[in-house]
């Protein structure tokens, strides 16, 4: 062991003097040479060049200071090292146990995922078979058998509808489709000759704020035909009673304009008011049976884009939403949970309509195409594309009550009636080059179809395609609805709701 000739301590960086052969700590001898220029032992002249560095093996431990040369000091040092070793061993055991738990969980999750995938593949095959049967009954050519729908994308799981809801949809479909061929207009329902005589009967002004002005959506109650809903650019939903000319409820909660409103009316359940807005949310209000007041029930924040479609399913237990985020979703109206979310499509969805029998869902796109999905499986049943032309946004759609036809824009200023059995256009109605379509719809008897636009509204007879009446007194009509028994037509113009019907 070396000791510095100046400090008497083991040197950290030892050097040896070529003059005296003594060992020094480098920093100490350099200071001495700077001050005196001689060897501190012999007094001979000494320069830094006369110092030789002593190099030890890197594996050699540094010498211990004199304070640790006694037995008690060594025992204390050994105790500290043993304690550090025990603590390190304990930490390694904890890390080992944590790693084992993570591995066990990963193996379990992988096994569960394999079981889920196997179950989903079985359900997919069964759904394809059921879809093929439905398509065959409607005359729709099935899609290629090898086409798969992505199960998970961007964190969105497509797991299919719960079996209980599928059973409700199937039951409703069987009940409604069985009576379709026998479905005729109810007794007392308006005919084409009566529609031709419709005149303006009532105007309800100033339903919404003047800044920003405009009614964007309309829905008329089936159970109480005098009541109707309006949604506006002012972010408010209004429930109005025409008989009393009073606002029954002014429902707030949206932060941007309302795009769609709807009633959920079901025997034995309270009335629900539903709205979907440009703020990416849908809101549900419920009416208290005793007080008849409406209270917020649920807010749906499923989508990341503007909500472009809203429809209540014929079962009255679920509703559908479409969004500009390229997905659509289904929600249970009994417990207000999401029961289905589609995988992202290649295009945004711009409109939505549900088939009257409840098995099909039509969705518009910004590129003129209409996608039709099977509600129960989420699989594409058909894709309808107009003949080549300028692409346009399909922002409104309507199924006919008989279930065989779908009404939608065919261009910026014309509408097409699609025959779903042949997946072809049965007829096209041109509305004029300067006509801009806002809304299309069928009445509940499938006798009439209406088109609302920037030059008022028009009503045509189904099959004969005769224009029955033109309603242009109030200027642009943003939304349209047929009243009870087809005796009235309701339209929104600016901040007003106008009602046309049989002359007094």
> What are residue 274's phi and psi, to 5 degrees?
-125, 140
Q: What is the pLDDT of residues 404-428, one digit of tens each?
A: 899 999 888 899 999 998 888 999 9
User: How sure is the predictor about 140, in pLDDT bands with cuts at 50, 70 and 90?
Assistant: low
Nearest residue to 433 via CA among 455, 408, 459: 455
User: Is 152-501 the same fold as 14-63?
Assistant: no
- Name the strands in the sheet holding 14-17, side by side, starting at the edge strand that comes first in the sequence: 23-25, 14-17, 51-53
Provide CATH code, domain 14-63.
3.30.40.10
* pLDDT band with cut points at 50, 70 and 90 for residue 337: very high
Whether the per-residue pLDDT at 61 is higher than 80: the answer is no
With b for 16 or more beta-carbon neighbours within 10 A and e for fewer, the 365-389 pattern comes to beebbbbbbbbbbbbbbbebebeee
Residue 133, SS3 per DSSP:
helix
- The pLDDT, as a whole number, for residue 144 is 42
pLDDT cut 90: percent of the chain above it:
48
Who's near 214: CB < 8 A, 6+ residues apart?
A: 208, 232, 233, 478, 494, 495
Question: At 136, is the pLDDT very low, low, confident or very high (cuts 50, 70, 90)?
Answer: low
Supply the pLDDT for residue 153.
Answer: 36
Query: pLDDT value at position 470?
Result: 93
Mean pLDDT of 81-85: 88
The CA distance from 367 to 370, in Å, is: 9
Which of 196-200, 384-388, 451-455, 486-490 has the least mean pLDDT? 384-388
> Residue 403 in contact with residue 442, Cβ under 8 Å?
no
Alpha-carbon torsion 484, 259, 394, 353, what sign? Answer: negative
| Residue 268 pLDDT > 50 | yes
Residues 489 and 501 sit within 8 Å (Cβ to Cβ): yes
Q: Give the 3-state secondary structure percentages of the chain, helix then strand then coil, rounded to 5.
A: 20, 35, 45
Contacting residues for 472 by C-beta, under 8 A, at least 6 apart: 455, 456, 457
The residue-averaged pLDDT of 181-197 equals 84
Taking all residues of the chain, what is their mean pLDDT, rounded to a whole number?
87
Q: Where are the domains of the chain?
A: 14-63, 152-501
Predicted local confidence at residue 219, as pLDDT: 95
Strands of the sheet with 424-430, listed across from one edge: 398-399, 405-411, 414-419, 424-430
Pick the more confident residue, 429 or 57.
429
Phi, psi of 126 (to 5 degrees): -65, -40
State which CATH number among 2.130.10.10, 2.60.130.10, 3.40.50.410, 3.40.30.10 fits the domain covering 152-501: 2.130.10.10
- pLDDT-above-70 percentage for the chain: 91
- Closest to 449 (Cα-Cα) out of 478, 469, 424: 469
> What is the predicted pLDDT for the residue at 3?
85
Q: How far is CA 436 from CA 368, 431, 445, in A?
A: 15, 9, 26
Confidence of residue 59 (pLDDT cuts 50, 70, 90): low
Nearest-angstrom CA–CA distance, 415 and 441: 11
């Amino acid at each position: 062991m070396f000791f510095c000739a100046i400090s008497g301590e083991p040197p950290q960086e030892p050097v040896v003097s070529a003059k005296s052969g003594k060992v020094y700590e480098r920093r100490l001898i350099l200071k001495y040479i700077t001050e005196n220029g001689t060897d501190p032992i012999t007094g001979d002249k000494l320069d830094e060049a006369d110092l030789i560095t002593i190099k030890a093996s890197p594996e050699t431990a540094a010498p211990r200071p004199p304070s640790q040369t006694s037995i008690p000091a060594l025992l204390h040092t050994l105790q500290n090292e043993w304690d550090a070793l025990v603590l390190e061993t304990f930490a390694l055991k904890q890390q080992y146990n944590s790693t084992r738990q993570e591995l066990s969980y990963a193996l379990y999750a992988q096994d569960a995922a394999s079981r889920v995938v196997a179950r989903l593949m079985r359900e997919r095959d069964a759904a394809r078979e059921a879809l093929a049967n439905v398509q065959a009954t409607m005359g729709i050519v099935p899609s290629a058998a090898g086409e798969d729908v992505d199960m998970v994308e961007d964190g969105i799981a497509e797991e299919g509808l719960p079996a209980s809801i599928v059973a409700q949809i199937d039951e409703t479909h069987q009940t409604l489709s069985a009576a379709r061929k026998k479905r005729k207009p109810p007794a007392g329902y308006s005919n084409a000759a009566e529609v031709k005589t419709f005149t303006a009967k009532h105007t309800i002004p100033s339903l919404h704020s003047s800044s920003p002005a405009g009614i964007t959506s309309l829905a008329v109650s089936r159970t109480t035909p005098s009541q109707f809903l309006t949604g506006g650019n002012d972010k408010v939903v209004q429930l109005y009673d025409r008989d009393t000319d009073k606002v029954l409820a002014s429902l707030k909660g949206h932060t941007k304009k309302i795009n769609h409103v709807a009633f959920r009316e079901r025997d034995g359940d309270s009335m629900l008011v539903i709205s979907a807005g440009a703020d990416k949310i849908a809101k549900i209000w419920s009416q208290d049976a005793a007080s008849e007041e409406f209270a917020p029930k649920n807010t749906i924040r499923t989508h990341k884009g503007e909500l472009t479609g809203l429809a209540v399913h014929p079962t009255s237990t679920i509703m559908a939403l479409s969004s500009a985020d390229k997905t659509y979703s289904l929600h249970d109206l009994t417990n207000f949970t999401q029961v289905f979310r589609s995988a992202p499509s290649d295009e945004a969805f711009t409109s939505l309509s549900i088939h009257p029998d409840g098995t099909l869902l039509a969705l518009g796109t910004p590129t003129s195409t209409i996608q039709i999905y099977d509600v129960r499986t989420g699989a594409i049943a058909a894709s309808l594309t107009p003949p080549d032309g300028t692409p346009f946004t399909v922002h409104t759609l309507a199924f006919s009550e008989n279930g065989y036809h779908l009404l939608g824009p065919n261009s910026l200023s014309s509408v097409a009636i699609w025959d779903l059995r042949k997946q072809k256009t049965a007829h096209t109605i041109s509305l004029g080059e300067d006509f801009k379509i806002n809304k299309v719809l069928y009445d509940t008897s499938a006798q009439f179809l209406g088109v609302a636009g920037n030059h008022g509204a028009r009503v045509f007879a189904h099959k004969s395609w005769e224009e029955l009446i033109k309603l242009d007194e109030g200027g642009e009509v943003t939304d349209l609805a047929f009243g009870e028994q087809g005796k009235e037509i309701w339209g929104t113009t600016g901040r007003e709701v106008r009602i046309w019907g049989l002359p007094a």
